[in-house]
């Protein structure tokens, strides 16, 4: 028997799949066969590695070589050089933006150095469609442990002790939530997994389901055992076909192994899981709206109480947790609450997955211990701001969160510190902005999203957000007044104070936090009619700096309006009457001569 | 597939399945384990490095030794192929030349297991190849 | 009991009481908009959506909706702090900023709850200028929809789905474009709507209104070639006074007749008369079916009443397999029309085309009912126009009259005399009681020992009783609200386990007295209760209280129809039902 000497892990997450990772895997298999190496090298389609910026990722084991941005055409070289001759393909290695050195081992990459992967422990490591790989990593042992060694109350106590809080955003203690549901007697209870990830840019839940679906199944069964539920439902948005597929595969494998269904592991405990597809409404991430949607009703929240723990799905006691929350559960059970609650900050235990995006070098999915500072995330893991520009703000928590500034860079982030800073954890979106971002436009962008996604049930959210958006639109077009700013603040306050659900109550956060942290920019828009970032088209124009212009004429050639004129080798000039501010010239000029004024 | 009927069965199953993932688990923290790098350039392959590597992997399994085997490029000792580099945690790496199955067994049982020296070390001012 | 403090006043309430109700107990009236309750009638709309009733609860992060928040021990509530007042005003301003400013031309002018709220908060200006939502206008024969005015209180939706189980209206779209609409924004007329009009009765604003037929009637009155005959339903006389500032429950029968005469109707008749006729036909039909069963023959039981056009439309749309259950007797409105245009027109020697029959009804569905093809002869309707109680009030005012100043007058003869049995048609259980009074005496040949069947009276949604017909136990049920009717139909479909013989169904809360064409009750169920009391008062005061003793009814059978359920009455006084189930077509 030939021994397998090399494992090729190839990311099969949605992002890398979109960049042809399927073809890469096919290509590996073909070429390995051609070389007669199919029995020595195992190619594994894994979940997401997180470093999506550099996808598709191919990781070679055991030597941990981390190839980035691999194309199907690179595969032959990897096989011939790396696998056959043991020589690394340097071109495909990650290039450290700081010292311009190639880094071969992911452990030495800034992106991974500070990370601690708990929820993502199996993502990018196992083949999510193979339950055996999951089991050999200790999968379902948490479930086995609770069923054979623990009472439901002990499970709840363990989770409570671990300090795990809801990763969907609000940070409610998970153990307490389970306890509330366990307390209510009913002929049927439900465990619901909220996989309706709706924050723009957030994709941790998708990645977990794609990369480690069994952890969710196991956690739901553990939860079911502790609260006395025999039915689990995963509410997942239909836009996640791969996650749906992986979950379906995982559920059927778990059933086949008797890890779902009747009499699990001989304990007498029954539990099974069904999938429910959502249409991807942001508000359906709110648990009461989610439940209504599952019942076939209009996805809109209702007033709590009654809480789902009392009256949820089909009016039965229901426990709803987010995907990432569940992903933490099995390992808490196997490693113990004491292991978990040593990680993180005082009131927020464990790790949090963030979707790092924006004007930052390393975009991707990261998992860090609670209490990591924004600076560490942005500069060490994120590799700093793109193009060496200045950091301006970081938006956390998606449309419900706020924009934090340089003064918050050393905040150790957890639920409470983010809330205190005027933002929130949310589901873990983190968008980094530099000086090219206009904060008024950013506030407007997020509000547009909330307006679109509001269910329209309560007046403050339905009409108030629309009115705020209209005022912001007025400001970005240069028609704002100081009274508008006052009205904006009042409206934001009232909406926060009166909206029915979490979506509405937090929707003014992007506006309020930018008003607080970037007041000057608002005033500039209103009083000076200026947008310093040059984003608000009505408030800027382009000018050619004659000192820098060499008269190459490149700008004039790309101008669709023929608004640029000038003699060859002489400084050019933009006719602002003709200019439509498309920015083509600005992008084209190699000399930085076209300036935003 | 028969259903798993108890936690004990599940654990037994894990034991059995684990070897499939060994290679990956080991690579999580290779520095804590004995690492064997086999020079697998044309010269090494021609001299039988591949066969030696496979033999060594099997032997290590038999002896229940946790060893990370990697293939590397030519180490530059073409005269002494097959060559392997062995790095025991906390020690400098050592390169052995002319490794055949017998030598390999010896390296495992003497050097790796008992820290006894084995003939055939290529003494050099040496920096490991990455 | 729970003790709390509201605006510095200690309040003690039962557990589960909302802040809104606790405050009311303490004489503190927190304004509301979406909240709507018919106390004791099982209707509560509490979406917590408008946020007008928000209050400050100490220790709570945000404001709480008083309508949906239960009192807790030790709670300290402020209903009028600066924070609350500012939030409430801002919320109302926001609602107004997406509302057409056309109060002067609005059907609901003066009856609008949003208007009243704006007035109460002293709103003089709307600081927010922005886009307004616009939607297609739509109407059926009974209901007009102008969703530009919708405030998303969802009362209509709750009414349509929970109370009526009709399911024609629900919220669609999202965010600023969210609105209540039939599915796929189809026409309401193409939906499962049965025109009960209860959505109109509960709408706080002018988004849902009635189809106004005043001008049609005014035109007929002004036409010298037309003989205009009016009939007025039992429930109108106990509610019309409210529109003229009278106490709810004031009986205005005489003034009503006088006002109609002054409006210029040539003959002022009474639907009560045809209600007595209905009892004759329906009662006979019931006894016929019961007798058949007693004789071991096949007959469909229970018999369902068919006076209520909302209900008729409902079972045609939802129970096409059970069309043989309801009585084939036409409703009193249509019986009257048939008698007027066939018998009475001939009697006074005019062609039916020269006669215009107008009905004054507490009902919106009557507008659709009179337009049914089967109730017309060569396109000439038996009842030409149906006006609601509210429209009549408007018309009286438009004609420079005040009901308060009207003398007491009688209805004209011969279609104007009636019994107490007819009067009670207006209240839930009334048709049942009237039918029992007659059926008992016809079946047993004995005089009833007591006329008041109190077991079928009252505002419970479903009432059942077994009446002893001289040894024969007749099982009856009375329900209002179409969801209750649906449950009853399903029970019957599943084998009628409770063995009902006769079931009365009225679509509207409390029966016709709570009809959609009645003066707006704005959620005050006491008003409905007082109308009901007035109905039974009127009955008790009548010299004749059994339909079969109405001399004019006796006379018309002698003179014209021969006998109840005879050949001619089948032709003129009975009808057929059709499968009108709405089929969903996948395009």
- Enumerate the residues of chain B whose CB falls inside 8 A of the CB of residue A85: 40-42, 73-74
- Is C373 marked active-site? no
- Enumerate the residues of chain A whose CB falls inside 8 A of the CB of residue C177: 456
A345 near B CB under 8 A = no
What stretch(es) of chain A map to CATH 1.20.1440.230? 439-528
Pairing mode of beta strands B84-87, B94-96: antiparallel
- Enumerate the residues of chain B whose CB falls inside 8 A of the CB of residue A64: 27, 30
In a domain, B122, yes or no: no
Report pLDDT for B124. Answer: 59
CA distance A189 to A223: 11
Using a threshold of 3 CB pairs under 8 A, tell whether chains A and C touch.
yes
Chains in contact with B via at least 3 Cβ–Cβ pairs below 8 Å = A
Q: A302 vs C90: CB contact, 8 Å cut-off? A: no
C173 near A CB under 8 A = yes
CATH code for the domain defined by A351-434: 3.10.20.600
Q: Range of B105's domain? A: 29-114
pLDDT (mean) for A187-209: 93
Secondary structure class of A152 (helix, strand, coil):
helix
DSSP assignments along C137-175, one per residue: -EE-SSEEE-GGG-----HHHHIIIIIS-----EEES-G
Contact C205, C182 (CB under 8 A): no
Secondary structure class of C299 (helix, strand, coil):
coil
Q: Shortest CB distance from A144 goes to which of B10, B18, B57?
A: B10
Pairing mode of beta strands C502-506, C303-304: parallel
In a domain, B46, yes or no: yes
Name residues whose C-beta falls within 8 Å of residue C578's C-beta, 6 or more positions apart in sequence.
C316, C323
Q: Which of A172, A292, A303 is the best mutation test for C, with the most CBs of C within 10 A?
A: A303
- Enumerate the residues of chain B whose CB falls inside 8 A of the CB of residue A2: 54
Q: How confident is the model at residue B58 (pLDDT cuts 50, 70, 90)?
A: confident
- pLDDT of B34 over the 90 cut: no
In a domain, B19, yes or no: no
Q: How far is B22 from chain A (nearest CA, A)?
A: 9
Q: C90 vs A466: CB contact, 8 Å cut-off? A: no
Q: Tell me which residues of chain A, numbers 401 to 420, contact chain B at a CB-CB cutoff of 8 Å.
A: none
C91 near A CB under 8 A = yes
Contact C133, C146 (CB under 8 A): no
In chain C, the domains with their CATH numbers are 2-120 (3.10.20.740), 138-209 (3.30.70.20), 214-273+339-415 (3.40.50.1780), 278-331+419-552 (3.40.950.10)
Judged on CB neighbours under 10 Å (0-12, 13-18, 19+), A410 is exposed
Report pLDDT for A281. Answer: 87
**Residue-wise pLDDT tens digits, A218-251:** 999 999 999 999 999 999 999 999 999 999 999 9
- Is C455 marked active-site? no
Contact C316, C323 (CB under 8 A): yes
In a domain, B13, yes or no: no
pLDDT (mean) for A8-31: 92
Domain count, chain B: 1
Q: Shortest CB distance from B4 goes to which of A9, A145, A265?
A: A265
How many CA atoms does the CB half-sphere of C14 hold within 13 Å? 2
The structure tokens listed for B125 are 């001012």
Secondary structure class of A344 (helix, strand, coil):
strand
This complex has an ipTM of: 0.93
A499 near B CB under 8 A = no
- Enumerate the residues of chain A whose CB falls inside 8 A of the CB of residue C83: 497
C90 near A CB under 8 A = yes
* Sheet strands (E) in chain B: 34-39, 67-72, 84-87, 94-96
CATH of the domain at B51: 3.40.30.10
Name residues whose C-beta falls within 8 Å of residue C339's C-beta, 6 or more positions apart in sequence.
C274, C277, C415, C556, C572, C573
SS3 letters across A261-277: ECCHHHCCCCEEEEEEE
- Is C374 marked active-site? yes
DSSP assignments along A46-112, one per residue: E---S-GGGPSPEEEETTTEEE-S--GGGHHHIIIIIIII----GGGBEEPTTT--EE-BGGGSHHH
Minimal Cα distance from B67: which residue of A? Answer: A62
What stretch(es) of chain A map to CATH 3.40.30.10? 6-108
**Residue-wise pLDDT tens digits, C47-82:** 999 999 999 999 999 999 999 999 999 999 999 999
Q: Tell me which residues of chain B, numbers 39 to 98, contact chain A at a CB-CB cutoff of 8 Å.
A: 39-42, 53-54, 57-58, 68-74
Q: How far is B75 from chain A (nearest CA, A)?
A: 10
Minimal Cα distance from A505: which residue of C? Answer: C62
CA distance B7 to A265: 6
Give domain A439-528's CATH architecture.
Up-down Bundle (1.20)
In a domain, B23, yes or no: no
Report pLDDT for A152. Answer: 97
CA distance A274 to A281: 20
Average pLDDT over chain A reads 92
The structure tokens listed for A169 are 């955003």
CATH code for the domain defined by A6-108: 3.40.30.10
- Is C282 marked active-site? yes
Report pLDDT for A1. Answer: 45
Contact C331, C367 (CB under 8 A): no
In a domain, B14, yes or no: no
Name residues whose C-beta falls within 8 Å of residue C124's C-beta, 6 or more positions apart in sequence.
none
Q: Shortest CB distance from C49 goes to which of A451, A466, A500?
A: A500
- Enumerate the residues of chain B whose CB falls inside 8 A of the CB of residue A136: 14, 17-18, 20-21
A541-596: in CATH 3.30.70.20? yes
Which one of C203, C307, C370, C565 is the catalytic residue? C307
- Is C192 marked active-site? no
Using a threshold of 3 CB pairs under 8 A, tell whether chains B and C touch.
no
What residues of chain A have any CB closer than 8 angstroms to a CB in chain C? 281, 283, 298, 300, 302-303, 305, 451-467, 470, 487, 490-491, 494, 496-500, 505
What stretch(es) of chain A map to CATH 3.30.70.20? 541-596
- Enumerate the residues of chain A whose CB falls inside 8 A of the CB of residue C48: 302-303, 458, 500
Report pLDDT for C391. Answer: 98
Residue of A84, A77, A74 lying closest to A40 (CA atoms): A84
C167 near A CB under 8 A = no
Pick the more confident residue, B75 or C532: C532
Q: Shortest CB distance from B5 goes to which of A3, A9, A265?
A: A265
Residue A88 to residues A66, A78, A94, A451, C239: CA-CA distances in angstroms? 10, 8, 12, 51, 92
Q: C175 vs A452: CB contact, 8 Å cut-off? A: yes
**Residue-wise pLDDT tens digits, A413-426:** 999 999 888 888 88
Minimal Cα distance from A37: which residue of B? Answer: B50
pLDDT by residue for chain C (587 residues), tens only, comes to 999 999 999 999 999 999 999 999 999 999 999 999 999 999 999 999 999 999 999 999 999 999 999 999 999 999 999 999 999 999 999 999 999 989 999 999 999 999 999 999 999 999 998 999 999 999 999 999 999 999 999 999 999 999 999 999 999 999 999 999 999 899 999 999 999 999 999 999 999 999 999 999 999 999 999 999 999 999 999 999 999 999 999 999 999 999 999 999 999 999 999 999 999 999 999 999 999 998 999 999 999 999 999 999 999 999 999 999 999 999 999 999 999 999 999 999 999 999 999 999 999 999 999 999 999 999 999 999 999 999 999 999 999 999 999 999 999 989 999 999 999 999 999 999 999 999 999 999 999 988 999 999 999 999 999 999 888 899 999 999 999 999 999 999 999 999 999 999 999 999 999 999 999 999 999 999 999 999 999 999 999 999 999 999 999 999 999 999 999 999 999 999 999 987 655 55
A138 near B CB under 8 A = yes
CA distance C199 to C181: 12
CATH code for the domain defined by A131-340: 3.40.50.11540
Give me the total of CB pairs closer than 8 Å, taking one residue from chain A and one from chain C. Answer: 113
In a domain, B125, yes or no: no
Report pLDDT for C487. Answer: 97
What stretch(es) of chain A map to CATH 3.10.20.600? 351-434
Pairing mode of beta strands C355-361, C227-232: parallel
In a domain, B61, yes or no: yes
- Is C490 marked active-site? no
- Is C366 marked active-site? yes
């Amino acid at each position: 028997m030939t021994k397998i000497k090399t494992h090729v892990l190839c990311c099969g997450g949605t992002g890398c799949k979109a960049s042809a990772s399927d073809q890469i895997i096919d290509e590996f298999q073909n070429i390995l066969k051609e070389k007669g190496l199919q029995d020595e090298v195992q190619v594994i389609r894994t979940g997401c590695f997180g470093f999506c910026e550099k996808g598709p990722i191919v990781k070679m084991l055991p030597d941990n070589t981390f190839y980035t941005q691999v194309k199907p055409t690179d595969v032959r070289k990897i096989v011939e050089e790396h696998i056959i001759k043991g020589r690394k393909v340097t071109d495909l290695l990650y290039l450290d933006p700081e010292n311009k050195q190639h880094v071969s081992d992911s452990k030495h990459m800034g992106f991974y150095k500070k990370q601690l992967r708990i929820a993502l422990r199996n993502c990018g490591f196992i083949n999510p469609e193979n339950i055996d790989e999951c089991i050999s990593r200790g999968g379902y042992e948490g479930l086995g442990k609770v069923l054979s060694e623990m009472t439901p109350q002990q499970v709840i106590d363990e989770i409570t002790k671990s300090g795990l809080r809801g990763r969907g955003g609000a940070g409610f203690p998970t153990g307490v939530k389970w306890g509330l549901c366990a307390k209510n007697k009913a002929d049927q209870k439900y465990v619901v997994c909220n996989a309706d990830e709706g924050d723009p840019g957030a994709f941790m839940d998708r990645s977990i389901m794609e990369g480690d679906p069994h952890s969710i199944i196991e956690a739901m069964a553990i939860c079911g055992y502790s609260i006395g539920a025999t039915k689990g439902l995963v509410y997942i948005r239909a836009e996640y076909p791969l996650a749906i597929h992986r979950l379906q595969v995982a559920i059927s494998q778990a059933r086949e192994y008797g890890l779902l269904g009747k009499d699990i592991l001989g304990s007498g405990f029954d539990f099974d899981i069904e999938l429910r597809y959502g249409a991807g409404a942001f508000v359906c991430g709110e648990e009461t709206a989610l439940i209504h949607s599952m019942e076939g009703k209009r996805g809109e929240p209702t007033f709590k109480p009654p809480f789902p723990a009392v009256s949820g799905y089909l009016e039965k006691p229901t426990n709803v947790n987010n995907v990432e929350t569940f992903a933490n559960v099995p390992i808490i059970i196997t490693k113990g609450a004491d292991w978990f609650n040593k990680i993180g900050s005082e009131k927020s235990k464990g790790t949090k997955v963030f979707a790092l995006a924006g004007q930052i070098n390393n975009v991707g999915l990261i998992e860090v211990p609670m209490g990591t500072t924004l600076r560490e995330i942005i500069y060490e893991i994120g590799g700093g701001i793109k193009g060496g520009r200045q950091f301006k703000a970081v938006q956390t928590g998606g449309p419900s969160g706020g924009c934090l500034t340089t003064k918050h860079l050393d905040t150790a982030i957890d639920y409470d510190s983010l809330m205190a800073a005027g933002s929130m954890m949310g589901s873990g979106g983190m968008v980094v902005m530099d000086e090219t971002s206009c904060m008024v436009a950013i506030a407007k962008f997020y509000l547009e999203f909330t307006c679109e996604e509001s269910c329209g049930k309560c007046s403050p959210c339905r009409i108030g957000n629309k009115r705020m958006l209209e005022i912001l639109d007025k400001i970005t077009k240069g028609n704002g007044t100081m009274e508008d700013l006052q009205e904006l603040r009042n409206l934001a306050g009232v909406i926060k104070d009166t909206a029915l659900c979490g979506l509405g109550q937090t929707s003014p956060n992007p506006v309020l936090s930018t008003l607080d942290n970037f007041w000057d920019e608002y005033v500039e828009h209103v009083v000076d009619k200026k947008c310093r970032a040059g984003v608000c088209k009505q408030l800027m124009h382009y000018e050619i700096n004659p000192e820098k212009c060499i008269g190459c004429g490149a700008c004039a050639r790309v101008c669709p309006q023929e608004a640029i004129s000038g003699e060859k080798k002489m400084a050019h000039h933009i006719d602002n009457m003709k200019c439509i501010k498309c920015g083509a010239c600005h992008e084209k000029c190699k000399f930085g001569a076209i300036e935003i004024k | 597939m028969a259903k798993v009927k108890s936690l004990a069965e599940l654990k037994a199953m894990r034991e059995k399945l684990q070897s499939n993932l060994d290679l990956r688990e080991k690579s999580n923290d290779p520095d804590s384990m004995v690492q064997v790098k086999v020079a697998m350039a044309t010269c090494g392959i021609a001299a039988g490095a591949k066969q030696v590597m496979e033999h060594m992997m099997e032997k290590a399994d038999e002896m229940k030794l946790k060893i990370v085997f990697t293939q590397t490029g030519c180490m530059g000792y073409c005269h002494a192929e097959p060559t392997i580099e062995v790095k025991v945690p906390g020690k400098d790496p050592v390169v052995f030349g002319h490794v055949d199955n017998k030598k390999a067994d010896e390296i495992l049982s003497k050097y790796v297991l008992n820290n006894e020296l084995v003939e055939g070390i290529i003494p050099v001012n040496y920096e490991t190849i990455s | 009991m729970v003790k709390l403090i509201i605006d510095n006043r200690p309040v003690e309430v039962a557990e589960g009481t909302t802040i809104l109700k606790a405050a009311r107990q303490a004489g503190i009236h927190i304004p509301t908009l979406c909240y709507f309750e018919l106390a004791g009638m099982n209707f509560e709309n509490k979406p917590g959506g408008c946020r007008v009733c928000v209050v400050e609860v100490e220790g709570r992060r945000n404001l709480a909706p008083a309508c949906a928040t239960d009192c807790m021990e030790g709670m300290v509530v402020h209903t009028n702090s600066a924070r609350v007042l500012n939030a409430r005003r801002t919320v109302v301003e926001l609602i107004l900023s997406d509302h057409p400013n056309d109060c002067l031309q609005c059907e609901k002018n003066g009856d609008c709850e949003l208007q009243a709220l704006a007035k109460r908060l002293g709103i003089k200006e709307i600081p927010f200028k922005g886009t307004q939502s616009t939607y297609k206008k739509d109407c059926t024969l009974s209901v007009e929809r102008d969703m530009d005015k919708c405030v998303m209180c969802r009362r209509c939706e709750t009414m349509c789905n929970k109370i009526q189980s009709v399911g024609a209206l629900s919220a669609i779209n999202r965010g600023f474009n969210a609105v209540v609409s039939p599915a796929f924004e189809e026409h309401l007329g193409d939906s499962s709507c049965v025109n009960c009009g209860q959505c109109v009765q509960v709408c706080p604003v002018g988004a849902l209104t009635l189809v106004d037929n005043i001008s049609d009637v005014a035109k007929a009155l002004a036409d010298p070639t037309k003989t205009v005959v009016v009939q007025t339903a039992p429930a109108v006389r106990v509610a019309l006074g409210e529109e003229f500032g009278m106490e709810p429950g004031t009986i205005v029968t005489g003034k009503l007749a006088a006002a109609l005469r002054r409006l210029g109707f040539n003959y002022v008749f009474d639907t009560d008369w045809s209600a007595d006729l209905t009892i004759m036909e329906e009662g006979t039909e019931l006894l016929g079916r019961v007798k058949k069963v007693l004789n071991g023959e096949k007959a469909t039981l229970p018999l369902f009443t068919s006076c209520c056009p909302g209900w008729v439309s409902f079972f045609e749309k939802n129970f096409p397999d059970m069309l043989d259950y309801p009585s084939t007797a036409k409703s009193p409105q249509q019986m009257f029309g048939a008698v007027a245009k066939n018998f009475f027109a001939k009697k006074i020697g005019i062609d039916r085309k020269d006669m215009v029959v107008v009905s004054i009804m507490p009902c919106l569905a009557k507008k659709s009912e009179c337009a049914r093809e089967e109730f017309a002869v060569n396109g000439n309707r038996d009842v030409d126009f149906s006006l609601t109680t509210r429209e009549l009030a408007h018309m009286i005012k438009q004609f420079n009259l005040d009901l308060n100043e009207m003398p007491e007058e009688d209805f004209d003869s011969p279609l104007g005399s009636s019994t107490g049995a007819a009067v009670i048609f207006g209240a839930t259980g009334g048709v049942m009681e009237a039918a029992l009074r007659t059926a008992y005496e016809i079946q047993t040949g004995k005089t009833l020992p007591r006329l008041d069947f109190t077991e079928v009276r009252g505002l419970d949604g479903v009432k059942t009783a077994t009446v002893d017909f001289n040894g024969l136990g007749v099982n009856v049920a009375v329900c209002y609200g179409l969801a209750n009717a649906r449950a009853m139909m399903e029970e019957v479909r599943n084998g009628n386990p409770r063995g009902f013989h006769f079931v009365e169904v009225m679509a509207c809360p409390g029966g016709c007295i709570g009809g959609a064409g009645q003066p707006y009750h704005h959620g005050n169920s006491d008003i409905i209760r007082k109308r009901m009391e007035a109905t039974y008062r009127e009955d008790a005061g009548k010299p004749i209280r059994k339909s079969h003793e109405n001399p004019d009814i006796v006379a018309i059978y002698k003179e014209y129809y021969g006998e109840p359920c005879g050949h001619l009455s089948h032709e003129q006084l009975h009808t057929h039902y059709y499968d009108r189930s709405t089929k969903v077509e996948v395009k």
